[in-house]
Amino acid sequence: MPKPTSQFSAELLWAKIPSNTQARILEAMWCAHCSKAVKIDTYTVHGIADSVILHAHCPDCGGEVRRYIEPQDLGPLRLSR
Ligand SMILES: [Zn+2]
């Protein structure tokens, strides 16, 4: 089982992602209900192991949208252990 990462660590990791990369992620969140990419503006940051997970709601249907950001997406921005 992956060990949970504290909310704080996940937020720190997200904050290290360049803002243009953050924007690209936030503009293309996939809504499974609408079957399309949606742009979200409010989200919460969570983490499991060294992955960051964004939780948001679809602006069209209001359904929950999640985006896993894998360690390989973060390149050198891995959490130190
Ligand atoms: Zn939707």
From CA 33, how far away is CA 20, in angstroms rounded? Answer: 27
Q: Is the CB of residue 58 less than 8 Å from the CB of residue 33?
A: yes
Ligand 1 midpoint to CA 80 (Å) = 35
Digit-coded pLDDT (tens) for 35-62: 999 999 899 999 877 789 999 999 999 9
DSSP β-bridge partners for residue 56: 43, 65
From CA 80, how far away is CA 74, in angstroms rounded? Answer: 13
Residues less than 5 Å from ion ligand 1, measured at CB: 31, 33-34, 58, 60-61, 63
Digit-coded pLDDT (tens) for 15-36: 988 898 899 999 999 999 999 9
Ligand 1 midpoint to CA 43 (Å) = 14
The residue ranges of every structural domain in the chain are: 7-74
Q: How many CA atoms lie within 13 A of 31 on its CB side?
A: 18
* Number of residues that this document lists for the chain: 81
Q: Indicate whether this model's pTM tops 0.95.
A: no
